[in-house]
Chain A
Amino acid sequence: MSCCLPILTATGLVKRFRRGTANGAVFLAVNQVSLTLSVGEFVTLVGRSGSGKTTLINLLSGLLTPDAGTVTLDGHLLHSLPEAEQSRLRNSVLSYVPQGQSLLTNLTVLDNVRLPLHLCQPSRRDTTTPARELLDRFGIAHLGHSYPANLSGGEMRRVALARALITRPRVLILDEPTSDLDIENTYQIATLFTSLIPTTAVLAVTHDLELTSYATRQLTIANGLLQNESPTRH
């Protein structure tokens, strides 16, 4: 049982940005943030716009290099690894779903979902079956040969989630995963996250109180600083 083992640990993360020109003022987007994420957790990260939520999850995913601090993913110091090794971890251990439309517009829905498998397992032959199973699980199997341009916002969001799960990641990081979804679909997604808990650590940035209510833990960030944890239903 892998429940409750720390899979992702951040220590003293700092990220500064400069506003406007090179001489513009520097501001701290993330300021000395430390956190631990364990398999078996569904954690929501809330905060006002510009509070540093997206910057923090990009640091945790290795998509952004911190000015100070470390991120340990599955026992590896993420930002000390060579770029190719970071990519391998991002593909096989961690899945990240960015905010908004994040599908590759030239590929069909089916190809979008199975692509991560080809990136981490180039020699794998049948990637269609697991991709179709995931699409079926999200109720969009009939869209397999459609292109993203022909999908609604909610359908695109579900395809992106299916793609994030195809590699069976142990860490799933999502930026506003329910922003395009109605209450019914939000419920389905929340139920899905709950079902993933035994094998996966889920961290979701959200403004959605409905989704937050399903979390096992809620983090709040303000002005780049992580606040005290808030209680949740669970």
Chain B
Amino acid sequence: MRAADVRLNCTRIMGALSIPRIAFINLLRRPTRSVALAAIVAVSSIFLFSGTFLDTTLADSLADLSGRLGADALIVPQGYENSTQSILLRGDPGMFYMSAEILSLIATDVPGIARITPQFFLSTFDADCCDAKVQVIGFDPATDFLVTPWAIKKEQVATVTNGEIVVGARITAEPGETLLFYAHRYRVKAKLHPTGLGLDTSILMPMSGVYDIIRRTPNLLPALASNPGGYLSAIAIKAAAGYSPYNITTEILKRYRTSYAIQAVETARLVSDISNHLKRISLLSHFAAVVFWLLAALVLAFAFTLTLNERKRELSLLRILGAPRRWVLRLVTTEGMVISVFGALAGIGFAVLVLTLFSPLICATIVLPNLTLPLRAVLSNVPVTLIPAIASGTLAGAWAARRITRFDVYDTFRVGE
């Protein structure tokens, strides 16, 4: 069969010159114009998707943040409340300490405490798992209630010993492997589920392991090197049923704030602060998304009008051939819709890529917990972006087409010559 015959058969099979087919042909035959228009939709989609996605995802992640943190209150050295927040929420490396005496005093003297456990925060200079500093957290497996619930195998955390470590979900090491830091090789005993908290990028070991590091590395914390066991970084408290965390922390501060230079952080208040912060960011992102959407709709309408002005002769020819005005409107509107769909999908894809690659940076910039991109959240936000993006492109095309086709065909045809 000759090539010409094949082409002829294809034409027969493809059949009618329908509006969608002509719209596609017009777009494909003018790739630069089509891509330029789609790019405008894509830019607006990036802002729309990023704004709504950050809003819903962070709202979801904040909803159970208090529960995921595990503690009702934290006792930390005065002046380190923000550092504690950074370590707990994002795993930003930090080191601070206070006297360990306070742990037993609070445990025995303050009523209403169901569970209490210490932690020691240490940051590495380097580790062969990671490109940057890593937060090492010392914990007490016997009393812990913050780390163990996240373990893939809980019994492995409960039995972790000196020389063994537990790694967060985003640390690239698996149980059985070893990691080198502070000139010592540690065996990975257990791994945690993703938490969306600082634990994801942390390495955890028993308090005794942390104390060994401090002893072996005198330059790390010289003041503690002789007796590291006398210090800790934070005390996590779980209130007993019927007791409010506020009353407990008030009692602790009344008794020990001055003598031990401590401060209390209520996790509910921490979440509340973050929520307020998020509301401001959310408002800003919504505002930016709406402004960009409106701007994009205006730019699209303008761009469509410009391109249709160039196509006056072409559109008039269609009407000379007998295409009703409504047919021409549908053709241009279909072109606008196709451009919008491709532009919006490209914009969403780009936004997902950027959010995936730069989510830690974004979180650090807006001081919020680690951002995860669950497929459910991505999919649920796609229609929120697609619908207005497609609507703006389609309406812009329809609006421009109405303007162009409202005159006598002859007038438009001559102008287009």
Contact = CB atoms under 8 A, between A and B. Distances in A.
A233 to B, nearest CB: 31
Contacts of A115: 17, 321
B17 A88 contact: no
**What's the interface size class on B, roughly?**
20 to 34
B25 A84 contact: no
A63 B409 CA distance: 5
Interface stretch (B6-14, B56-64, B356-364, B381-389): B6-14
Interface string A26-63: 00000000000000000000000000000000100101
B411 interface: yes
A86 to B, nearest CB: 8
Contact of B321 (A125, A132, A163): A163
B408 A65 contact: yes
Given A118-B18, A145-B7, A107 B25 contact: yes
Nearest to B319: A87
Interface in B1-44: 4, 7-8, 11-12, 15-18, 22, 25-26, 29-30
Contacts of B11: 110, 128
Interface string A51-88: 00000001001011100000000000000000110011
B328 to A, nearest CB: 10
B111 interface: no
Contacts of A104: 314, 317-318
Contacts of B181: none
A161 to B, nearest CB: 13
A155 interface: no
Contact of B323 (A64, A114, A119, A125): A119
A222 interface: no
Interface stretch (A95-103, A179-187, A192-200, A212-220): A95-103
A87 B12 contact: no
B184 to A, nearest CB: 70
Contacts of B314: 104-106
A122 B16 contact: yes
Contacts of B321: 90-91, 115-116, 119, 163
Nearest to A124: B16
A111 interface: yes
Contacts of B16: 118, 122-125, 127
A98 B26 contact: no
Contacts of B410: 58, 63-64
A4 interface: no
Contact of B320 (A63, A84, A118, A120): A63
Contacts of A111: 17, 25
B317 A90 contact: no
A132 to B, nearest CB: 8
**What's the interface size class on A, roughly?**
35 or more
Nearest to A108: B11
A64 B408 contact: yes
A118 B17 contact: yes
A133 to B, nearest CB: 13
Contact of B25 (A63, A98, A106, A167): A106
Contacts of B18: 118, 122
A124 B12 CA distance: 12
Determine which residue in A61, A63, A91 has the highest number of CB atoms from chain B within 10 A of its CB, and name it: A63
A92 interface: yes
Contacts of A124: 16
Interface of A: 58, 61, 63-65, 83-84, 87-88, 90-92, 96, 98, 100, 102-107, 110-111, 114-116, 118-120, 122-128, 132, 144-145, 163, 167
16 contacts: A58-B410, A84-B325, A87-B319, A87-B325, A91-B321, A98-B320, A98-B413, A106-B26, A107-B17, A110-B11, A111-B17, A119-B322, A119-B323, A119-B327, A120-B322, A132-B8
Q: Which 9 A-B pairs have the closest CB atoms?
A: A91-B322, A106-B29, A87-B324, A64-B410, A63-B410, A58-B410, A84-B324, A63-B409, A118-B17
Given A110-B11, A122-B16, A125-B16, 18 more contacts: A83-B325, A87-B322, A88-B322, A90-B320, A90-B322, A91-B321, A91-B322, A102-B317, A105-B29, A106-B29, A111-B25, A115-B321, A116-B322, A118-B18, A119-B323, A123-B16, A125-B15, A144-B8
